[in-house]
Structure 1
């Protein structure tokens, strides 16, 4: 897609939002500063007709649905935060999760047969019309030849082109923000957009999703919080995917929260703990946990579907995340501040004590409060102000994590309006700390470091051109390598002895 075409697409999206009075809606005017009020009034001169009818959420949903996958995903994200944007607004956007207009059954059948290279009946005994349709694909109930009920996901026709168009428009928007909005530069719009585009690119190859579902499904079995469907590999292709049928009711269905015997408190905790256990314990997490992708059953069973977007965290990021959460749980703001500086999340020239003070100002009003007494909108605004005050830049490697944490809390609060994110996180975080930062873990880490050092020494000794002195042996036979190994082991034992006291 050319830069001119991308520019025209951005202009078209902006014009559609203006025409629908969805950019600065008239309903929010009372809470806006004067400058924004006047901007909104000026834009509403161009709004009109049927486009501006309905509530703000309805108007926005109509625009987003027309504008394609990236726009729809924005709507899905907004729909999870009724506690920030209000219940009616979130509800008006909720159909974007899994209730979009489907494409014909005949098209889905033809797509699968083209991928299989043989008739659909060689794999499926039955194949029914779609039961859910989202931005990129739709889901069909089907039955395998052995009678097993499955769900078959099929990509929308031409979706790859729509994603490519969205990607070009996003890159242009990031370039414009980088050039003309200096305040946005610390958010690194270009890097942020590349993370989003990479996720979209992976989503349009369902073989990657199948692999992700299988990998994360294995990790989920270590905890009781959440499960993944099984992959039916005979029914997997680039544009279609077959999974075992997810039991329960989609959380996007209003009937889900009225199921007999449902424990809403335990269910909300399972959503939060399931996500944190994935991120901390395995460094791999489902990064699209909106209600349309969660199937629930009484009392607190959850099956997650749609593994098109997975997030990954390296060992260092997992450690920082756990220690930050642990510091907040213990209200140790000085420690949380130190971790932010050690991780490079806050520039080194900033004042550590002032940052700890700012963290306290954000954290203290939240602890011990009923979730319904906490304004998440105000809290997020305060956090954003703090990032600006301390010149904190966006971390591309944490984009999916941060986005998913916000989504997860929104979903959990919809299930249980009194949900306490910190209380729910506590056992998972403390378990990680006890396992990874305990004396035994320190000894294990020392051993790993010593082993890596020995391997490095061995490679050095075996490398061609190493000076002879490096491989000198004593008359009794042991090479210098073993002497160094003994020193390393002795040092390890000494350090372990000190740590264990």
Structure 2
């Protein structure tokens, strides 16, 4: 039964895209071949009357997705983080996608809270307001805890949102299969992988326990960050469909007039936003990936308050080191070192010429350094860098795309506060400090300590593991076989090398 339903949903979607003018924008962004354009237009054109007009004040793509509803709005938001898939122009359009939908009734929200917490709302909260914000997945109410009198924000999922999203995701997969069949060239963009990425993001946001956990981890990582704080999660009043946090009282970071009236230093705020983001990405590898003005406030004492932790980014420690070396190399204008880092990390195939790659990187960096402070952009640098590395055979790395997209958003926030902010000057101390702590002598000692800890757990088992491996190898190949001897000696050498490394690490630590 899914096939006919998916076809009907896609026809309705296509009709809306055609009616709003978004179909041409999307086909152009994907550089769709003539055959695909003819097939799509031929199927959709007779059904235009089924499509919705949407808000005519919006750009075509955002107008269409807003008209189609929550799943499409969220899909557009996720695609805005993937300019490698939809192109820069369409990504910019989707980045300003409106995420404001009509709220659902307060009685329905109270019923959801009752079902999630197994208590009546009046027994937990003295006050429970009408919705103060309504987005594609959930809405937020301001409330007051009966037990402590504390003001809190209660986030409640939309009724039936899980089933509605699953229906649309099924249709998206069906559309991806059709696109790949009609346009083999589109397979390089991996449409099914894009849908899978979207599905993973949405599933995380449809379980508010996961968002609560992200908020808790983020708070633990940043507890010592000066001038930055997060609302605390109220675990006793949170569940899969309801999340309760402390109320964030402050001036919206996007309201410059209110910030000025409150006496806040906007230049300092801009610097702090950028440095906080870089610290979280490099130091912790766990960062707020939706850090726009709507998710940031400024407290009366000048602290920046972040909230809404549905989209978080993660970068492993090795990738963070590579990223920091690349940024630092650009800051120092050492393009040869930047090129070498790419080769050492395996990002660029070893058969390419490192000097030629360094020259290509210089063509990226020098024009940016020639700009005045108001035009220097780390996000633009990363965008150009991805273009160059793609030409040299580097595969797209999703986690770096998300980082680059968030960097663009954070730079936009910082520049909206202080247009003349020099991004490089602000970033330099954060990147330099990370380089010293993650790649210098202290980092070597820390890595050796980790090796020692592993050896302390597995060292006693190492002789047995090596012996078992040697016995298995001798059973597979006859002892007189030269190759077998070589492999056995290699295993013995490897075992000795690991044991020796562990001994050295222990000696350093002790």
TM range (shorter): 0.7 to 0.9
Q: Name the residue aligned to 2:423.
A: 421
State how far apart, in whole Å, the 1-side matches of 2:188 and 2:200 are: 21
Q: Name the residue aligned to 1:435.
A: 437
Alignment of 1:395 with 2:392, yes or no, is no
Q: Name the residue aligned to 2:21.
A: 21
Q: Name the residue aligned to 1:277.
A: 279
Q: Name the residue aligned to 2:136.
A: 135
State how far apart, in whole Å, the 2-side matches of 1:329 and 1:375 are: 12
Say which of 168, 189, 192 aligns to 1:190: 192
Is the contact made by 1:96 and 1:135 (CA closer than 8 Å) also made in structure 2? no
* Segment of structure 1 superposing worse, 262-271 or 59-68: 59-68
CA 8–393 in structure 1, closer or farther in 2 if over 3 Å, else same: farther
Q: Name the residue aligned to 1:172.
A: 174
Give the Å deviation of 1:281.
1.3
Q: Deviations over 1:269-298 (max 9, x none)?
A: 222222221121112112222222212246
1:130 is paired with a residue whose SS is strand
State how far apart, in whole Å, the 2-side matches of 1:490 and 1:225 are: 43
CA 256–102 in structure 1, closer or farther in 2 if over 3 Å, else same: farther
Q: Deviations over 1:8-66 (max 9, x none)?
A: 434433331221123447xxx9xxx9x99xx99x9899989993884453x54432222
* Segment of structure 1 superposing worse, 184-193 or 229-238: 184-193
Q: Name the residue aligned to 2:121.
A: 120
Q: Name the residue aligned to 2:103.
A: 102
2:232 is paired with a residue whose SS is coil
State how far apart, in whole Å, the 2-side matches of 1:460 and 1:377 are: 47
1:131 is paired with a residue whose SS is strand
Q: Name the residue aligned to 1:302.
A: 304
Give the Å deviation of 1:77.
7.3
Q: Name the residue aligned to 1:338.
A: 340
* Segment of structure 1 superposing worse, 381-390 or 224-233: 381-390
Is the contact made by 2:143 and 2:153 (CA closer than 8 Å) also made in structure 1? yes
Q: Name the residue aligned to 2:252.
A: 250
State how far apart, in whole Å, the 1-side matches of 2:279 and 2:378 are: 23
Alignment of 1:12 with 2:16, yes or no, is no
CA 377–308 in structure 1, closer or farther in 2 if over 3 Å, else same: closer
Give the Å deviation of 1:180.
4.9
Give the Å deviation of 1:454.
5.5
**Gap runs ≥5 in structure 1:** 470-482, 497-501
Is the contact made by 2:17 and 2:64 (CA closer than 8 Å) also made in structure 1? yes
State how far apart, in whole Å, the 2-side matches of 1:450 and 1:395 are: 32
State how far apart, in whole Å, the 2-side matches of 1:14 and 1:247 are: 43
2:212 is paired with a residue whose SS is helix
State how far apart, in whole Å, the 2-side matches of 1:177 and 1:408 are: 34
Q: Name the residue aligned to 1:317.
A: 319
1:160 is paired with a residue whose SS is helix
CA 188–268 in structure 1, closer or farther in 2 if over 3 Å, else same: farther
Q: Deviations over 1:296-329 (max 9, x none)?
A: 2467532111112222222212212222222222
Say which of 205, 229, 232 aligns to 1:230: 232
Q: Deviations over 1:415-444 (max 9, x none)?
A: 333344333322221111111122132133
Which aligned pairs between 1:17-96 and structure 2 lie closer than 5 A?
A: 17-24=17-24, 51=53, 54-57=56-59, 59-73=60-74, 96=98
State how far apart, in whole Å, the 2-side matches of 1:248 and 1:166 are: 37
Give the Å deviation of 1:160.
0.8
Is the contact made by 1:186 and 1:392 (CA closer than 8 Å) also made in structure 2? no
TM-score with structure 2 length normalisation?
0.78
Relative contact order higher in (CA < 8 Å, ≥ 6 apart): 1
Give the Å deviation of 1:459.
1.2
Is the contact made by 1:207 and 1:237 (CA closer than 8 Å) also made in structure 2? yes
* Segment of structure 1 superposing worse, 119-128 or 180-189: 180-189
State how far apart, in whole Å, the 2-side matches of 1:182 and 1:382 are: 27
State how far apart, in whole Å, the 2-side matches of 1:398 and 1:173 are: 27
Q: Name the residue aligned to 1:216.
A: 218
Q: Name the residue aligned to 1:477.
A: none
* Segment of structure 1 superposing worse, 201-210 or 355-364: 355-364
State how far apart, in whole Å, the 2-side matches of 1:161 and 1:262 are: 45
State how far apart, in whole Å, the 1-side matches of 2:254 and 2:106 are: 23
State how far apart, in whole Å, the 2-side matches of 1:379 and 1:295 are: 28
Aligned pairs, number: 466
Give the Å deviation of 1:484.
9.4
Alignment of 1:459 with 2:492, yes or no, is no
CA 486–193 in structure 1, closer or farther in 2 if over 3 Å, else same: closer
Q: CA RMSD in A?
A: 4.2
**Gap runs ≥5 in structure 2:** 82-87, 472-495
TM-score with structure 1 length normalisation?
0.79
Give the Å deviation of 1:252.
5.4
Is the contact made by 1:188 and 1:394 (CA closer than 8 Å) also made in structure 2? no
1:247 is paired with a residue whose SS is coil
1:276 is paired with a residue whose SS is helix
Give the Å deviation of 1:75.
5.4
State how far apart, in whole Å, the 2-side matches of 1:416 and 1:380 are: 22
